[in-house]
Amino acid sequence: MPKNPELRRNLWLEITRQRLIAMPLILGIVFFILFIGDSSSGKSLKATLMMSKIIFVVMVICGIKKTASSVVSEVNQKTWDFQKLSSISPWQMTIGKFVGSSLYTWYGAIIALIVYTLSLYYSHLNVYTFHNSYLYPRYKDLTIGAINIKVAILLLSALLAQTLAMFFVMSDIANSKDNTKTINEYKYIAISALIFILFVFFEQAFKGGYVPRISWYGMRMESSVFCALSLFVFLFWSVFGTYRLIKKEFQYKVTPWVWCSFVIFLVIYLAGVMYKSPLLYILPYSLVMLIVITYLTLFMQSKSPIIYKKMLLRFKQKKYREFFEIMPLWMVTYIMAVLLAVFITILLFLPINLDIPYTFRGYPMPETTNWIFYIALSFVPILIMSRDILIVHFFQLSSNSKRGDFTSIIYLAILYMLVPAIFYKLKLYIIAYSFIPLTLVLNYERGLKLSGDPHALWSVIIISASIQLFVMYVIFMKRWKEINKLK
């Protein structure tokens, strides 16, 4: 018997002799009935393939549900405090919950997957037997290697979806500091199941033979192989991320270095797909990705003013380790984005040949305007993001902070759509663009026409973004001072 208490508790609940016998018995009967059908035309094989896959998908989705519920039920049934005060290690809890909760559904899923794999092997080995059958055109190019990749994609995506469900639920628990709150896991089950189903469709579409190739930093590989490798790497990150969340929940000291590593990995991974020579080109893409991740984490994490007050206090007390332990993930990513923007700018000022073409979206740019253009391209998004962060936090500090995120999304939509539209109608084009400066990347020709001078265009946009940030800072600080007046 394993020594892991959580795994053993789940074994008590999940595994009984009757259940152990029932699963293979029922599945065996189903597959037997399907297989004894008309074997010469391949109909029975096709039915077996389809049924085994359906059973696998159903079992995996049940497993996703069981894993998410196993964590949520601890919080909702008020047993989580016992767990937090126990001596169970975070790894034991991660494995105990992940494996233990879905052990029985995986028992069924593995049987279905074995049947599916064997059926694929069988169809490959007897492909010419089915020359005149339904199966022939579908599986004629399916090699043993391709079958292995198909099975690997199914298996890895199932595991990834299950860990993601646990990760999302753990994030929710970590963000909800109110120990009386009830957590609803269904949205996380739905998201994870959807991710899994997308990969099932991808696997279904992959039939061997010619497959589109993908280029990653110039390395060309089959998209199915790339998909399987990516799933494997992301599975590692999701398990590690879940472990870190449990570790934090179990009162261990956790600094955000794993998050930093993940963000760097994600940026490098995605930039690899967009890679174009020279390497410098991936830097603006990386900046955009960091900004997107900052926004995502900003809306996903708790923005309680207590966190920031604690951070400020720890900083004043020079307790830097604790300062980083408390630091929200959006802030970590935000700092990374600012550092990258600074790095890009420094790089442009260095007396080295960066091989940057003096054109932008096909329009020639005078060499002298290059520096202001790149500063604008690096810093205006940072300024606008800073403004948006203050807006989101401003509403979070309101008396009705539960709807803070929703309210801030509405106001951001107004800022990004309604306000520019009004200025546009008033023919104040430059001001309109200054609320959504990145649209100029798409409408550079128009911006150039309106301003007449690229220098003036970018300068106005930098100044405008700075003013917006300053105004928002003043408004935010007023509310921050108000909220610090304690009852």
Partner 1 sequence: MEEAIIDVQNICYEYPNLRALDNVSFSIKPKTITALVGHNGAGKSTLLRCIATLEKPFSGDIFIDGVNNQDDPRKLHKKLGYLSDFFGLYEDLTVNQCLTYMAWSHDIHENVEDKINILSNKLNLEDLLNRKTQELSRGQRQRLAIAQATIHNPKILLLDEPASGLDPEARHQLSELLLGMRDGGMTIIVSSHILTELEEYSTEMLILNKGKIKEQVALADVSKNNSVISIGIDDIGGNTVDDIINNYKLGKIFKENDNIKSCNIKDGKLIIEFDGDQLQRAELLKSLVSLDIPIYDFTSKKKSFESIYIEALGKKDA
70 binds partner 1 (CB under 8 A): no
Binding of partner 1 by 16 (CB under 8 A) = no
**Residue from 176, 304, 407, 443 that binds partner 1 (CB under 8 A)?**
304
- Tokens 């169970």 belong to residue: 88
**In whole angstroms, how close is the CB of 21 to partner 1 at the nearest point?**
21
CA distance 438 to 288: 11
Residues near 361 by beta carbon (within 8 Å), at least 6 away in sequence: 441, 444, 445
Alpha-helical runs (H) found in 77-212: 80-84, 90-101, 103-125, 135-139, 144-175, 186-205
Q: What secondary structure letter does DSSP report for 280?
A: G
Q: Does 180 bind partner 1 (CB under 8 A)?
A: yes
Q: Does 318 bind partner 1 (CB under 8 A)?
A: no
294's CB contacts (< 8 A; 6+ apart) are: 330, 333, 334, 337, 385, 389
HEC-encoded secondary structure of 97-130: HHHHHCHHHHHHHHHHHHHHHHHHHHHHHCCCCC
Q: Is the dihedral of CA 93, 98, 99, 104 positive or negative?
A: positive
Binding status of residue 478 toward partner 1 by CB under 8 A: no
175 interacts with partner 1 by CB under 8 A:
no
Q: Which of 175, 345, 401, 466 binds partner 1 (CB under 8 A)?
A: 401
Task: By CB under 8 A, tell whether 77 contacts partner 1.
Answer: yes
Binding mask 241-260 vs partner 1 (x if CB under 8 A, - otherwise)? Answer: ---------xxx--------
What's the closest the beta carbon of residue 397 comes to partner 1, in angstroms? 8
Q: Which stretch binds partner 1 (CB under 8 A): 3-11, 338-346, 438-446, 452-460?
A: 3-11
**Which one among 29, 198, 219, 313 touches partner 1, defined by CB under 8 A?**
313
Per rule CB under 8 A, count of chain residues that contact partner 1:
34
Give the nearer residue to partner 1 in terms of CB position, either 6 or 203: 6
486 lies in the site for partner 1, by CB under 8 A: yes
- Candidates 16, 79, 143, 261; binder of partner 1 (CB under 8 A) is 79
Binding segment for partner 1 among 307-315, 358-366, 411-419, 433-441 (CB under 8 A)?
307-315
Identify which of 415, 416, 393, 389 has the alpha carbon closest to the alpha carbon of residue 404.
Answer: 393
Asked whether 376 and 437 are in contact (CB, 8 A), the reply is: yes
User: Where do the H-state alpha helices sit in 36-102?
Assistant: 43-76, 80-84, 90-101
Which residue lies nearer to partner 1 by CB, 252 or 299? 252
Start-to-end Cα distance in the chain: 54
CA–CA gap between residue 467 and residue 372 (Å, rounded): 18
Least spacing, CB of residue 332 vs partner 1, in Å = 19
Instruction: State which of residues 118, 229, 430, 483 lies at the interface with partner 1 (CB under 8 A).
Output: 483
Q: Report, in Å, the least distance between residue 88 CB and partner 1.
A: 5
- In the complex with partner 1, which residue's Cβ is closer, 91 or 470? 91
Say whether residue 308 binds partner 1 (CB under 8 A). no
Contact 152, 137 (CB under 8 A): no
Q: Which residues bind partner 1 (CB under 8 A)?
A: 3, 5-6, 8-9, 12-13, 77-79, 81-88, 179-180, 250-252, 304-306, 309-310, 313, 397, 401, 483, 486-487
